[in-house]
Chain A
Amino acid sequence: MGLLAPNAAVAGEARLNGRELLGADPRALRDLRGAELAMIFQDPMTSLAPHIKVGDQIAEVLVVHKRMSWRDARASALQLLEQAQVTDAARRLTQYPHELSGGMRQRVMIAIALACNPVMLIADEPTTALDVSVQAQILSLLKRLMRERGMALALITHDLGVVAGLADRVVVLYAGRVVESGSVGKLLRTPSHPYTAALLRSMPRIDAPVSEPLIAIRGQPPGPRERIAGCPFHPRCDLARANCATERPEPRHVAGSLVACHYPLAPAVNPS
């Protein structure tokens, strides 16, 4: 999205439909953001302007990107709110963000994000601040919108249950690196990386026998300033051997997923 602070050193490539995003002209990037690539955030309160009516915040996107008149844009805003399954949408247009519940605010954020029919939506922990009941509603809304619009979704979350309901593919990050990536079924059923497996074992599940022990991951995730030689997960890994502390594992294909581990788990020994 090009939203990082100026002190961020970004290298590599990021292409959307063949166009390079990194280092793109700020004006070109601004045209792209909201129009083709949209984003919703964890906290729907701080990502909405508190002093502007909800309807105008949605309409603004259309006025800026599609050069619509404010009158047409407000009419479209109503439709967008309805698509985001906001109840009582006409009245909501004239309300301010503080008058809405957390779930409603996130729906407004989704309406804004969808205004210009983006090809891709980035959702950064979109339901972490919400109750489980509202979380399920927002997730099924996102799922429906993806299907109807053929929109790609990058869902950033810490909750593997949320992943299971929505994602086709999963990328597991640890200390800034990809440790495992693959299809959702493969990754959640037979994880190859010890970190993925440990995450699954450490989560209390509502459908698993209580007698099963909860196996915590010892220690804590490394701070952003910490530099760990070798595999970044080795200080917390039960399967670490001597070379894990010295050689960094390169990602390689193991049993259908991409795994950065010297000693990936064989499918047979994994928890089901």
Chain B
Amino acid sequence: MSSSFLTLDALRVYFSVSGGWLKPARKLKAVDGVSLEIAPGEALGIVGESGCGKSTLARAILQLVDVTSGQVVWLGRPIESLSVRQMRPLRDAMQIVFQDPLASLDPRMTVGEIVAEPLRVHRTDLSREQRQTEVAQMLERVGLSRDQINRYPHEFSGGQCQRIGIARAMILKPKLLVCDEPVSALDVSIQAQIINLLEDLKRESGTSILFVSHNLAVVRRLCERVLVLYLGKTMEVAPSEQLFSAPLHPYTRGLLASVPIPDPDLQPARLEASLTGELPSPLSPPSGCVFRTRCAFAIERCAAEIPPLEEAGDRRQIACHRWQELSTKAAT
């Protein structure tokens, strides 16, 4: 494993939630012992339902939330306990694109200023002219024109704002780009434009991507590997083609069956096969396997023992007591 690029080791992020007046604060385990690694140039998808901890995981990697325990090793160096000041010089190589394209841009700055800001902070060696040239090139690369450089974010559509956000993230040529639901707020006809742009940028720049999304069809297009998260825990990690063609974990199967497809012959039956129930409160997760309360295959053991993340073939891991049994059943 290329552990030198980015490795998470048993990462935990807990939030303390006030229980009410005179009641003790409770722990919300947003991310609960997740280990993963990303190779240079690889795109890893993090999927799961709302509240499963996927955004918190992304933010913990960038040190935008405090890590409770575990390690984030970036280019061979643990960064989870660095101060804000120590962290700053490392940030040029790790950038993020947020979900809400307009809210993540400063309304009082022009597009040129927004995209130039990372250069002003991290590339103080550049002259003003060099900076402007780079900004103009970057804007063209994301599909905006040079003459839009002096406009303000509110003059742009959602899709264009997301292009500006991507330009701002890519201008420092980061080694890692974290995308937190980058197309979820966009109109369907615009989503494909942004997906294609991200595909092009990834191919041209070789940047690693951590792609957080609840949209499995988008993840399938962009990512080589996918990690399925449920209540802060890893359920399954697998290369995309394996995960989408032969999901092993009951949760992955249910999640895939829930994704609607525009086929009037197949879709009505898929509706009936999807997951039952809802995500339990992360404040009081079920004992044993956290998914057991919604799992059609749960047995007594699932309530008693936490299933470990086991190797399940080439680059594939799964946390389920019954996966072997269920996968042979599915095959016959």
Chain B residues within CB distance 8 Å of chain A: 49-50, 157, 159-160, 187-193, 195-196, 214-218, 220-221, 240-241, 244, 254-268, 270-272, 274-279
Residues of B within 8 A of A204 (CB): 191-192, 195, 215, 217-218, 220-221
Give the segment of A21-29, A63-71, A154-162 that binds chain B.
A154-162
Q: With a CB–CB cut-off of 8 A, which chain B residues contact A159? A: 188, 260
Instruction: Determine whether A137 belongs to the interface, using a CB cutoff of 8 Å to chain B.
Output: yes
Contact of A136 among B196, B241, B263, B271 (CB under 8 A): B271
Which chain B positions have C-beta within 8 A of A215? 192
- Give the Cβ gap from B311 to chain A, nearest Cβ, in Å: 25
| Whole-angstrom CA separation of A215 from B220 in the bound complex | 16
Distance A207 CA – B257 CA, assembled complex (angstroms): 11
27 pairs, CB–CB < 8 Å, chain A vs chain B: A101-B278, A101-B279, A131-B49, A131-B50, A133-B275, A135-B258, A136-B257, A136-B271, A136-B274, A136-B275, A139-B260, A158-B188, A159-B188, A161-B262, A164-B267, A165-B271, A184-B264, A185-B264, A189-B264, A200-B262, A202-B189, A203-B217, A203-B262, A204-B192, A206-B256, A217-B190, A220-B190
- Mark each residue of chain A from 146 to 188: 1 if its CB lies under 8 Å from any CB of chain B, else 0: 0000000000001111111110000000000000000011001
A103 and B275 alpha carbons, distance in the complex (Å) = 13
The minimal Cβ–Cβ distance linking A11 to chain B, given in whole angstroms, is 28
Interface residues of A, CB < 8 Å — how many? 45
Q: In whole angstroms, how far apart are the Cα atoms of A100 and B124 in the complex?
A: 51
Query: Which of A135, A137, A221 is within 8 Å of B189, CB to CB?
Result: A221
Quick check: B264 and A164 within 8 Å, CB to CB? yes
**In the A-B complex, the 9 residue pairs with the closest CB atoms:** A161-B260, A136-B274, A216-B192, A164-B267, A160-B262, A133-B275, A202-B192, A165-B267, A204-B217
Report chain A residues within 8 Å CB of B214.
131-132
Interface status of A210 (Cβ within 8 A of chain B): yes
Of all chain B residues, the one with the shortest Cβ separation from A185 is B264
The answer for the CA separation of A228 and B266 in the assembled complex, in Å, is: 38
Q: Does A133 lie within 8 Å of B271, measured CB to CB? A: no
Question: Bound complex: CA of A198 vs CA of B188, how far in Å?
Answer: 11
Additional 11 contacts, C-beta under 8 A, given A143-B271, A164-B261: A132-B216, A132-B255, A133-B254, A133-B278, A137-B275, A165-B271, A200-B262, A207-B261, A216-B192, A217-B189, A220-B157
- Contact: A165 with B195, CB < 8 Å? no
